[in-house]
Structure 1
């Protein structure tokens, strides 16, 4: 049996985005977040999926309990996030996400997946459901992998 300190967990949170309104500047800022997070997550052996929806970040983090706690503490103190809220924290038996850091935003190509998740009303009320965030992240990952010709993962 695994030690509780080292058990594998996933954490889902959402926060309000504190980024520039300028579209080009916003892309640069998100790319900077991705570059920094990927390095830190690789070092901490964390897998994650970040969704940028409207003016919110929604993210699933997976990894050993202490690594996820440390990563979430860093995120909570990051000035690019405001009103950070955990919506789910639980032990898992295996990882569902394959990379240290993946990000997705709504595009015409994935509009149907975002519409199916129906997160907009939940975000406006400040009550996104973990199941909806998790399902959207999994669907976006599957869509991305399918476009790369990968149809099955052994995670």
Structure 2
């Protein structure tokens, strides 16, 4: 089995409603392919974990890289795994940033118990990035 984490930037306006639709569609398609994972969205970027058979994961990432909602997709981790980190999630999404006291702890606690420490740190760090708005 294979695990992959990527980050990408959002090309256009994308909000909670679009994220909910995307997550529902991905969950249905991933269930057919026996892919599990999660998606974090911070208003500007995505970070996603995908788990499954390597050929399925690589084909999906190739498709995502061509999706008009994404740009600058970068794979930050690939590895073979024995056990899935989120076996019960065909796809689950989280909206971040974690910019208030206690947000990072609540977010980390919402992640699956099976998350490796490095995966938990990657997602919590991504969620804690606060994007500064340009001054007008």
Query: Is the radius of gyration larger for structure 1 or structure 2?
Result: 1
Does residue 45 of structure 1 match 2:34? yes
1-structure distance, mates of 2:26, 2:122: 17
Cα distance, 1:113 vs structure 2 = 3.5
TM-score by length of 1: 0.64
TM-score by length of 2: 0.72
2-structure distance, mates of 1:85, 1:138: 15
Instruction: Give the equivalent residue in structure 1 for 2:89.
Output: 99
Structure 1 ranges of 4+ moved more than 4 A: 107-110, 136-139
Task: Specify the SS of the correspondent of 1:88.
Answer: strand
Alignment partner for residue 135 of structure 1, among 86, 97, 120?
A: 120
- Structure number with the higher helix fraction is 1
Which blocks of at least 5 consecutive residues in structure 1 are unaligned?
Answer: 1-7, 117-130, 140-155
CA RMSD, aligned part only? 2.8
Alignment partner for residue 62 of structure 1, among 51, 71, 74?
A: 51
What number of residue pairs does the alignment pair up?
113
1-structure distance, mates of 2:4, 2:79: 7
In structure 2, do the counterparts of structure 1 residues 44 and 105 end up closer, same or farther at CA, with 3 Å as the change threshold? same
Cα distance, 1:55 vs structure 2 = 0.8
Which blocks of at least 5 consecutive residues in structure 2 are unaligned?
Answer: 109-117, 125-136
